[in-house]
Amino acid sequence: MELRQIDHFLAVVEEGSFTRAAARVFMVQSSLSASLLNLERELGTELFIRGRRGAELTEAGQAFLAPARAARDEAGRARDAVAEVKGLLRGSVRIATVPTALPRRLDLIETIRRFQKEHPGVHVQVVPSDSTSMVGLVSDGQVDFAITPRVDGMSAGLRFEPLISVDLVLVCPAGHRLAGRRDVEPTELVDEAIIDLPCGWRSRELFDRVFAERGLQRQVTLEVDDWYGILSMVQRGLGISYGPRICIDTAVFGAAEVATLADAPEWELGVVSRDEALRGAAGRAFLAAYLEQRRVTGPVAELAGGHE
């Protein structure tokens, strides 16, 4: 069994299809399939159910998954140890992040630009995901760390380092009866047309909790898994929505206005990671560079408040 075969197996598992996995490991699909068939012959069993729904793991594949990830992690640590002795930094960094328009002081772009200039041998991959799934990616070791809203029930093996904390607000079309209002009561929203984020997004979880805590019922009629799409719909009068004020760019979405919620829940964004020893050298270096970039650019408090 070769390490590259394990990498190919995990690529299919994590991408969900042979086509996407082949693109990820820079191979044609036929070569990837041949590599995995050789692995299956060596193990004496099929690892995947191949069908229209993509690549699903067999029972044997499920049993092989944890040892395969452990082998990949061990090999990565071995390469990192040698690279650190030689004064090099190689390998890969996988970062999960919310597909939300974060302010420049919180996004990854500047850190990626500087990091790749200083460490051209490191492959950086950014993985978009919802906040709930993102924590699982960190816990399973599929990513080095995540920049994500805080979620409830995070396991003891994970660490959350807060970057910012702001209230959830309403976003309304210009001229809407709630636009610019302060301390809007949830009872005023029951009959409103609301453009919802999908379940799994922290903002949706917090917004649903506001109604549940007051025993209010509302009907969900429109869900959009794209923050820019939601803001565009709000501007065009399809309804109101909600989210952290810091992610509402009024320079781009000038026809959207903000209203505050009474007793608004707090939305926190931070870095989720595992124990320091479990991350590779490249992951540790990138995270240190990101936090340093945050320190240099300063706090974002004026972006979080001020406009509400």
Q: Answer whether residue 307 shows pLDDT above 50.
A: no
pLDDT for position 238: 94
| Cα–Cα nearest to 294, from 110, 101, 135 | 110
Residue 240 counted as domain residue: yes
Residue 304 counted as domain residue: no
Give the contacts of 100 (CB within 8 A, at least 6 positions apart): 227, 243, 247
Lowest mean pLDDT among 48-57, 183-192, 249-258: 48-57
Q: Are 134 and 94 in contact, with CB atoms under 8 Å apart?
A: no
Residue 7's CATH number: 1.10.10.10
Residue 294 counted as domain residue: no
Confidence category of residue 240, pLDDT binned at 50, 70, 90: very high
Count the neighbouring beta carbons within 10 Å of the beta carbon of residue 118.
11
| Cα–Cα nearest to 261, from 302, 197, 307, 207 | 207
Q: pLDDT tens across 33-53, in order?
A: 899 999 999 999 999 887 666
Residue 263 counted as domain residue: yes
Q: pLDDT tens across 161-181, in order?
A: 888 899 999 999 999 999 999
Range of 2's domain?
1-75
| pTM as predicted | 0.65
- In Å, how far are 136, 141, 150, 160 from 157, measured between CA atoms? 11, 12, 15, 10
What whole-number distance in Å separates Cα of residue 9 and Cα of residue 69?
10
Confidence category of residue 302, pLDDT binned at 50, 70, 90: very low
Decide which of 31, 46, 75 is a domain's last residue: 75
Residue 80 counted as domain residue: no
Decide which of 36, 52, 75 is a domain's last residue: 75
Residue that wins the pLDDT comparison between 19 and 84: 19
- Length of the chain measured in residues: 308
pLDDT for position 136: 83
pLDDT for position 204: 93
What whole-number distance in Å separates Cα of residue 194 and Cα of residue 173?
12
- In Å, how far are 250, 251, 252 from 255, measured between CA atoms? 8, 9, 9
Residue 37 counted as domain residue: yes
Residue 209's CATH number: 3.40.190.10
pLDDT for position 230: 92
Q: Are 39 and 47 in contact, with CB atoms under 8 Å apart?
A: yes
Residue 189 counted as domain residue: yes
Structure tokens at 117: 């200039």
Confidence category of residue 101, pLDDT binned at 50, 70, 90: low
Count the neighbouring beta carbons within 10 Å of the beta carbon of residue 150.
17
The predicted model gives 225-233 an average pLDDT of 89
Residue 154 counted as domain residue: no
| Cα–Cα nearest to 76, from 122, 112, 135, 30 | 122
What whole-number distance in Å separates Cα of residue 122 and Cα of residue 115?
9
Three-class DSSP category at 146 = strand
What whole-number distance in Å separates Cα of residue 199 and Cα of residue 118?
39
Three-class DSSP category at 159 = strand
The number of folded domains in the chain is: 2
Residue that wins the pLDDT comparison between 50 and 195: 195
